[in-house]
Amino acid sequence: MLSYDFNPDERVLTCYFTGRLDTILSSQIAAELESKFESLTENTEKAAVLDFSLIFDVKEVNFISSSFIRLCVAGKKRVKDGSFSIRNSDPFIKKTFKIAGLDEILNVI
Amino acid sequence: MAENLMERANDILERAILASAEFQEFNQEQTDKVVEAVYKAALNARISLAKMAVEETGIGIWEDKVWKNVIGTQLVYENIKNEKTVGVISDDPVTGISEIAQPLGPIFAVTPVTNPTSTAIYKILICLKSRNPIIISAHRNAAHCTGEAARICYDAALAAGAPEDCVQMIPAGSRDFTQMVMAHPRVALILATGGTGLVKAAYSSGNPAIGVGPGNVPVFIDESADIPFAISSIIRSKTFDNGTVCASEQSVIVEEKIAMAVKSEFERQYCYFLSPEEIQKVEKIAVGKESMSMSPFIVGQSVEVIAQKAGISVPKGTKILLAELPGVGKDHPLSVEILAPILAFYIAKDYHSAIKLCIDLNYLGGIGHSAGIYANNEKRILEFSQLINAGRIVVNTPTSQGAVGGTFNMLNPSLTLGCGTGGKNITTENITVKHLINIQRVCRRKMNDKFFSVDRSKYLDENCNETDLRLEYHKNH
């Protein structure tokens, strides 16, 4: 469902998602992501800003819910020193972000 | 001044209302006689009107304008001539519902500079067939030829017994007056074909409107396509009237694996790939830097003229200028709609990337309009079609001619193409007669036995849930 790859030199966290990211799964992922973020940032405040780039890889994802889109928006807002992008989207997922008007803001590739 | 304009607008609408009132009394036979007369006169004038349009606007190719006039007259006529548009148009004894067609009233029609005579004739034909008087507002750079087309149609209509003032023109050039007439409370419908500003004005007028604006047509060539056939078809479409049809191809997208084959086929068929330096030169003359919209000075111009304006030299006989671009959007001006023989070209690393590029291009000013695909793989054709937001996805067909309908497919021939809600339109269809009539439905008493056999007290019983009520409703005694 979710695995990570953190590149400490370039300070990029890549999150690999798989399967069907429905509302229930997205809320579980949100909690899991939060603890991952906490482990990587020295700032101990809750919902602290992230000082690394964040990539959501959705190559193995076949469905995204609106909860996952919110998660992406939240992720983008958290990143301060770095960039946010969603990569390897399939055309249907790309269109979902397009319709939501978020494909450019979230840098969906 | 404003009062004078208002008086003029009132006068035009008063005449139109009187024509509308007289039209109400026409039967189908009288209506069809008028339409046939207009069609004949306009078809006979197809060549002189085409030449006049090119001469006045300096846009396009007269032979292709003739073709457009044929679409606007003969093909439209053949498509609508047997339509019932008067009185009872359908009667279903099973449902007990009869449909009665009623005209709408005065229709305010705006015609574009790119198709000034064909669009005028087409709109006159569909308005008269639906017994609606038409008030035409021509583009200021095409007022003479549009006016002449309207005059020919009006004279023929009058001779066939049509009401006086069933076709009127308003003077071109005054935006205030145009908007005043457009917003006049007695206008029944606006039929606007043109740029974004015009369409927005139509929708802001307070009157019902069918406003059709720009496109940005992506064409995907799949690996399963017949490449030489696809390229020849694209050239046929993009060079048609020097690319002035809003459904003409704006970009070609291919996968890396067939890119070289496609490029060399384009070159073999006399198209020219611009170098990066040449792309910059063409960008400067073709697209406004701030507005990101095409320059009116290159609309409908030939490759030679464009090359000359851009200060580049291309081989003699070049049909299309192709610009290989790395991206879509404001950093890549040639990715927007350009109604001239300039075509953006994209190479994607795989099928999914190619389709995603098509989506980006589709959403760059062309939502709801048209798209094209060349493929011999039904699965991909359907997948592409579901992903693209377009009213028409034309398959293995030149998009200019294909989207307009009536020649390469069975779409209604039309010079106003609905773009759905994405293009702020109410329909994705090709606009034709049926959009210009109000259909009244006479609904005879036909009891719903299921509903009336339900024990009514059950609806008032809090203990009855949906399952109980469903079983009760469908009970077959």
B327: nearest CA in chain A? Answer: A109
The model's pTM is 0.91
CB contact under 8 A, A92 and B387: yes
Contact between residue B161 and residue B47 where contact means Cβ atoms under 8 Å apart: no
- Position A44 scores a pLDDT of 66
Residue A108 lies in a domain: no
Residue A109 lies in a domain: no
- For residue A85, give its domain range: 2-99
User: Domain tally for chain A?
Assistant: 1
Residues in a beta bridge with B430? B417
Residue A88 lies in a domain: yes
CB contacts, 8 Å: B355 with chain A: 91
A71 Cβ neighbours under 8 A, 6+ residues apart: A26, A29, A30, A33
Mark which residues 360-419 of B lie under 8 Å from A by CB.
360, 363, 383, 387
Which residues in B67-84 are b (16+ Cβ under 10 Å) and which e? bbbbbbbbbbbebbeebe
Count other C-beta atoms under 10 Å from residue B353's C-beta.
19
Provide the pLDDT confidence category of residue A108 given band limits of 50, 70 and 90.
very high
CATH of domain B2-213+432-438: 3.40.605.10
CB contacts, 8 Å: A95 with chain B: 359, 387
How far is the alpha carbon of B357 from chain A, nearest alpha carbon, in Å?
9
CB contact under 8 A, B359 and A89: no
- Sorted by where each begins, the domain ranges of chain B are 2-213+432-438, 217-413, 451-477
User: What SS3 class is residue B129?
Assistant: helix
B217-413 placed in CATH 1.10.1070.20? no
CB contact under 8 A, B359 and A94: yes
Residue among B250, B190, B142, B177 at smallest CA distance from B416: B190
- CATH number for the domain including A89? 3.30.750.24
What count of CB pairs under 8 Å joins A to B?
A: 17
DSSP assignment of B5-62: HHHHHHHHHHHHHHHHHHHHT--HHHHHHHHHHHHHHHHHTHHHHHHHHHHHH--S-H
Q: What is the pLDDT of residues A63-92, one digit of tens each?
A: 999 999 999 999 999 998 889 999 999 999
CB contacts, 8 Å: B360 with chain A: 98, 103
Q: What is the pLDDT of residues A11-64, one digit of tens each?
A: 999 999 999 999 999 999 999 999 898 888 776 676 778 889 999 999 999 999
C-alpha distances out from residue B89 to B84, B94, B97, B132, B218, Å: 5, 16, 11, 17, 39
Q: What is the pLDDT of residues B412-455, one digit of tens each?
A: 999 999 999 888 888 999 999 999 999 999 999 999 999 999 99
Residue A105 lies in a domain: no
pLDDT below 70 — which residues of chain B? 1
